[in-house]
Amino acid sequence: MRILSISIFCLLLSLNSTKAQKPIYLDVNQPIEKRIENALSLMTLEEKVAMCHAQSKFCSKGVPRLGIPEVWMTDGPHGIREEVFWDEWSGAKWTNDSCTAFPALTCLAASFNPEVSHLYGKSIGEEARYRNKSVLLGPGVNIYRTPLNGRNFEYMGEDPYLSSRMVVPYVQGVQENGVAACVKHFALNNQEKERFTVNVEASDRALYEIYLPAFKAAVLEGKAWSIMGSYNQFRGQHCCHNDLLLNRILKSDWKFDGVVISDWGGTHDSDQSVNNGLDLEMGTWTDGLTTKGTSSYSSYYLANPFLQGLKSGKYNEKLLNDKVSRLLRMIFRTTMNTDRPYGKFISPEHSEAARKIAEQGIVLLRNEHQTLPIPVGKYKRIAVIGENATRSLVIGGGSSSLKVAYEVSPLEGLTKKYGIETIVYSKGYSSEITENNAKSKLAADSLIQAAVEVVRNADAVIFIGGLNKNYFQDSEGDDRKSLALPYEQDRLINALLTANKNLAVLICSGNAVEMPWLSKIPALAQVWYLGSEAGNAIANILSGEVNPSGKLPFSFPKKLEDNAAISFGKISYPGDGKKEEYKEDILVGYRWFDTKKITPLFPFGFGMSYTTFEMTKAITDKTIFTSDDVIKLVVNVKNTGKMKGSEVVQAYISEIKPTVLRPLKELKAFSKIMLDAGEVKQVELNLPVKDWAFYDEKATGWKINPGRYTINIGTSSSDIRQRVNVQIKK
**Are 350 and 126 within 8 A, CB to CB?**
yes
List 75, 97, 159, 263, catalytic entry: 263
CA 510-234-666 angle, to 5 degrees, is: 55
Helices (H), 112-212: 114-130, 160-175, 204-206
Report how far residue 659's alpha carbon sits from residue 537's, in angstroms, rounded to the nearest whole number: 48
Helices (H), 244-303: 270-275
**Are 646 and 609 within 8 A, CB to CB?**
yes
Residue 366, beta-bridge partner list? 524
Residue-by-residue DSSP string for 323-365: HHHHHHHHHHHTTT-TT------S-HHHHHHHHHHHHHH-EEE
The letter for the amino acid at 507 is I
The DSSP output letter for 520 is G
308 sits in which H/E element: helix 304-312
Query: φ and ψ at 404, to 5 degrees?
Result: -105, 155
Query: φ and ψ at 119, to 5 degrees?
Result: -60, -40
Report how far residue 224's alpha carbon sits from residue 170's, in angstroms, rounded to the nearest whole number: 10
105 sits in which H/E element: helix 105-110
218 sits in which H/E element: helix 213-220
385 sits in which H/E element: strand 382-385
Backbone Cα Rg of the chain: 27
End-to-end CA distance of the chain: 89
Q: Is 263 a catalytic site residue?
A: yes
Count the neighbouring beta carbons within 10 Å of the beta carbon of residue 696. Answer: 17
Report how far residue 619's alpha carbon sits from residue 723's, in angstroms, rounded to the nearest whole number: 9
Residue-by-residue DSSP string for 587-641: --THHHHHHTT---SB-TT--B-SS-EEEEEEEES-SEE-TT-EEEEEEEEEE-S
Report how far residue 703's alpha carbon sits from residue 209's, in angstroms, rounded to the nearest whole number: 12
444 sits in which H/E element: helix 438-456
**Are 251 and 219 within 8 A, CB to CB?**
no
- Whether omega before 77 lies within 30 degrees of 0, making that bond cis, reads yes
Report how far residue 347's alpha carbon sits from residue 365's, in angstroms, rounded to the nearest whole number: 33
Residue among 657, 611, 664, 618 nearest 637 (CA)? 618
534 sits in which H/E element: helix 534-543
- The dihedral region occupied by 313, where left means phi > 0, alpha psi between -120 and 50, and beta the remainder, is left
Contacts of 130 (CB under 8 A, 6+ apart): 342, 343, 344, 345
Query: φ and ψ at 377, to 5 degrees?
Result: 95, -10
The letter for the amino acid at 165 is R
365 sits in which H/E element: strand 363-367
**Are 182 and 222 within 8 A, CB to CB?**
no
Count the neighbouring beta carbons within 10 Å of the beta carbon of residue 8. Answer: 10
Give how far Cα 397 sits from Cα of 28, 108, 400, 453, 600, Å: 41, 18, 6, 33, 27
Q: What is the edge-to-edge ordering of all strands in the sheet holding 523-526?
A: 363-367, 523-526, 503-508, 460-466, 382-385, 423-426
Catalogue the active-site residues.
263
